[in-house]
Chain A
Amino acid sequence: MLKKKDLIIMSYLRQNSRQRLTSMSRKTQMPVSTIYDRIKSYEGGLIKKHTCLLDFSKLGFSTRATIMLKVNRESRDTVGEFLSHHQSINTVYKVNNGFDFMLEALFKQIKDLEDFMEMIESKFKIDDSKTYFIIDEIKRESFLSNPDTAELLSIDK
């Protein structure tokens, strides 16, 4: 388990990963060098990547959906590999409970999604699928984005 200081740094990065170390130093009362070292030591492990979350509709991708897929056992690895490299797929999870994959997919229009589903069904043996269109985003990547909650996860409370 991480120390409180580390969790506070993580929570500030979750809030804004592009903020300056000097700004984080002011907020946390920790030296810049400490923050730098901690971030570097967690990159590639606890920190998978620093990224920017986009408003996809502003980029013209207004059809956004969560797609559940159940695939033939033999083609599971191939499908996983295919989905991981497909440009319309933002996120892919392997899941349980009647399905194998859960995808977040982005398209310009509904027709593109239909084409994607047709393509994937012709390419692989899909046993079942379910599409949930995302109508609105209420919250995204907010776990541990509040420094106050960081305390709840630490060992040195």
Chain B
Amino acid sequence: MLTNTDLVILSHLRRNARKSLVNISKETKIPVSTIFDRLSRIENIAVKKYTSILNFSKLNHNLLINYAIKTIKEQRPELSKFLDTNPQINSVYRINNGFDMMVECVFMDLKQKEDFEDSLSRFVHDKKEFHVIEELKKEGFLTNIDGLNKQDF
């Protein structure tokens, strides 16, 4: 269970993971030593990794596509292995409701997308693709804890 102080620290790191403990302390009035202690605990409980969210189009990768994929049960391990090792894949989730996986891919162009879909086709029983036209919000949960029901945590 996280305390209110933990949530405040976490929300600062959600907004900027490179923020120093000194700056978090200045903004929150929580002593640096407390933040240091709490952070080790928070990292053990809830932090999966620190990362930088990129604008992929600035890397000339203008196609961000989410695929809902249905496969047959026997091919699931092989599909998982393929998805785990393919460098074009950003995120993979197991889902329900008629599909097995939701896969987010980043492509430079249509040729790269077509090549990926060709390699994927051997595992796929059914697929739906959703092109991301615009990103309105990314990793925004718990970036602002004002108005949150602290008892939820």
**A residues adjacent to B (C-beta < 8 A):** 1-2, 7, 10, 13-19, 45-56, 58-60, 66, 68, 80, 83-84, 87-97, 99, 101-102, 106, 108, 130-146, 149, 152-153
- Check A108 against B136 for contact (C-beta < 8 Å): no
Across the interface, which residues of B come within 8 angstroms of A153, CB to CB? 59-61
Indicate whether B50 reaches chain A with its CB closer than 8 angstroms.
yes
Q: Which of A50, A95, A132, A143 contacts B97 (CB 8 A)?
A: A132
A151 to chain B, nearest CB (A): 11
Q: Which of B13, B55, B130, B144 contacts A51 (CB 8 A)?
A: B13
- Check B131 against A96 for contact (C-beta < 8 Å): yes
Across the interface, which residues of A come within 8 angstroms of B56, CB to CB? 143
- Check B95 against A139 for contact (C-beta < 8 Å): no
Across the interface, which residues of A come within 8 angstroms of B97, CB to CB? 130-133
Q: Which of A56, A139, A144 contacts B54 (CB 8 A)?
A: A144
Across the interface, which residues of A come within 8 angstroms of B106, CB to CB? 143
- Check A90 against B140 for contact (C-beta < 8 Å): yes
Q: Which of A49, A89, A95 contacts B53 (CB 8 A)?
A: A49
B147 to chain A, nearest CB (A): 7
Look across to chain A and name the residue whose beta carbon is closest to the beta carbon of B146. Answer: A87
CA distance A143 to B87 in the complex (A): 6
